[in-house]
Amino acid sequence: MRLGVLDVGSNTVHLLVVDAHPGARPLPAHSYKAELRLAELLDGQGAIGPDGVERLIETVSGAVQAAEDQGCEQVLSFATSAVREATNADQVLTRVKAETDVDLTVLTGEEEARLTFLAARRWFGWSAGKLLVLDIGGGSLEIAFGIDEEPDAAVSLPLGAGRLTSERLPGDPPDPQDVKALRRHVRAEIARTVGEFSRLGKPDHIVATSKTFRQLARIAGAARSADGLYVQRDLSLSSVREWVPKLTAMTAEQRAALPGVSEGRSRQLLAGALVAEGAMDLFGAQVLEICPWALREGVILRRLDHLPVT
């Protein structure tokens, strides 16, 4: 069957269309994406403003049309932290439903972490042993750990690259004092969770998902996206440490000229790098592997698990 998954995230609205059936690997068939950066469009009261709502509705409508054009039998639609935490979330969801007929399911942070963990587990398989999975989104950082398909621990922290950039790094390039303050904040937030995970033992394999980690790996020398899903891509803590001061000194325009860095994400890359550095350091990850599957694939896999095998 042909399934679509519509992800209204803090950075992008992304429709992924796959051909799938139970017991088989979902095969990507089409992708529709628009960058909205909702995490940066919240007003002083934490609400998504009128312009943001209109842009969201327009983009969701475009995704619905793309899903219809691609022959999707079903579209699984969800929203993450930017909508979840908006003070006017109920009104936004009501407008989206009324004008697009899309009923967005708002995932909790823990659900995001658990579904992303499921995707990573299926990608790497049982031989990977105990997995520690890190995911940096636009609005939040998800961390999950476990040996089964359901993690033993899963948390979501308000440390998304878009959120932190908007709230704490106003300059371009940023003020070094702002960068130092953000580094302290990020590490203090992550450190509160380390004990919950360390009591579960040492991971056998540490992996990361999300655009932020992929971009950091690419500028550190990992293979291009064009080289395919099955090329192993690693990111070392030493590489992230090397790049943080370089990114600090760059403008967003200069970062956008780096390999694999899009113009829309370039402003957020420094904040994302600080979160990646803090998480890797505090969790003892000298090297991690980039997983090509993440939340959207987790949503698809969970749906397939509930379909009858024919």
Can you give the pLDDT at residue 309? 59
- pLDDT-derived band at 10, boundaries 50, 70, 90: confident
Specify whether 166 is located in the same domain as 148: yes
Q: Which residue is listed with tokens 């969201």?
A: 56
Do the domain assignments include residue 96? yes
The stretches of 141-175 forming alpha helices (DSSP H) are 161-168
Asked if 32 contacts 8 with a C-beta cutoff of 8 angstroms, the reply is: no
Q: 178 and 116, same structural domain?
A: yes
User: What region, left, alpha or beta, does residue 37 occupy, with left being phi > 0 and alpha being psi -120 to 50 degrees?
Assistant: left
Q: Is the confidence at residue 24, as pLDDT, over 70?
A: yes
Bridge-based pairing of strands 27-35 and 12-19 is: antiparallel
The per-residue pLDDT for range 228-257, each reduced to its tens digit, is 989 999 999 999 999 999 999 999 999 999
Return the pLDDT at 46: 87
Residue 138 sits in the same domain as residue 249: yes
- Encoded tokens for 274: 């600080």
* Cα distance between residue 259 and residue 105, in whole Å: 35
Cα(104)–Cα(128) distance, rounded to whole angstroms? 34
Q: How confident is residue 302, by pLDDT bands cut at 50, 70 and 90?
A: very high
Final residue of a domain: which of 62, 87, 106? 106
Query: Of 83, 106, 129, which residue is a domain's last?
Result: 106
Of the pLDDT bands very low, low, confident and very high (cuts 50, 70, 90), residue 44 is confident
* Residue entry with tokens 């209109």: 54
Average pLDDT, the chain: 94
Q: Check whether residue 272 and residue 139 sit in a common domain.
A: yes
pLDDT of residue 310: 55
Nearest CA-CA partner of 167 in 209, 135, 134, 138: 138
What's the CA gap between 180 and 105, in Å, rounded? 37
Q: Which domain holds residue 61?
A: 2-106
Separation of alpha carbons 200 and 259, rounded Å: 37
Q: Which tops the pLDDT comparison, 23 or 95?
A: 95
- Going through the chain in order, the beta strands assigned E by DSSP cover 2-8, 12-19, 27-35, 74-79, 105-106, 131-136, 141-146, 153-157, 205-209, 234-236, 287-290
Q: Final residue of a domain: which of 106, 123, 141?
A: 106
**pLDDT > 90 fraction of the chain, expressed in percent and rounded:** 84
Which residue stretches of 101-233 are H helix? 109-124, 161-168, 176-198, 211-219
Higher pLDDT, 196 or 45: 196
Same domain for 185 and 129? yes
Within a domain: 246? yes
Looking up tokens 């971009």 gives 215
Same domain, 162 and 187: yes
Q: What is the CATH number of the domain that holds 48?
A: 3.30.420.40
**pLDDT value of residue 223:** 96
Question: Do residues 147 and 102 both lie within one domain?
Answer: no
* Residue 130 placed within a domain: yes
Amino acid occupying residue 5: V
Least confident of 6-10, 94-98, 219-223, 279-283: 6-10
- Which pLDDT score is estimated for 308? 65
Angstrom distance (rounded) from CA 60 to CA 224: 29
pLDDT exceeds 60 at position 90: yes
Question: Given this model, what pLDDT does residue 258 score?
Answer: 97
Per-residue pLDDT tens over the stretch 65-82: 999 999 999 999 999 988
- My answer on whether 129 and 246 are in the same domain is yes
For residue 309, give the DSSP letter: P
CATH number, residue 130: 3.30.420.150
- Percent of the residues in the chain that have a pLDDT greater than 70, as a whole number: 99
301 domain-assigned:
no
Q: Which of 50, 262, 278 is nearest to 164 (CA)?
A: 278
Based on the structure, what is the number of domains in the chain? 2
Q: Is residue 309 part of a domain?
A: no
Q: What is the 8-class DSSP label of residue 24?
A: S
Q: State pLDDT tens for residues 119-176.
A: 999 999 999 999 999 999 989 999 999 999 999 999 999 999 999 998 999 999 999 9
β-bridge partners, 110:
none
Structure-model confidence comparison of residues 46 and 205, the more confident one: 205
Residue 205's pLDDT band, with cuts at 50, 70 and 90, is: very high
Distance CA 230, CA 144 (A): 23
User: Which region holds residue 279: left if phi is over 0, alpha if psi is between -120 and 50, else beta?
Assistant: alpha
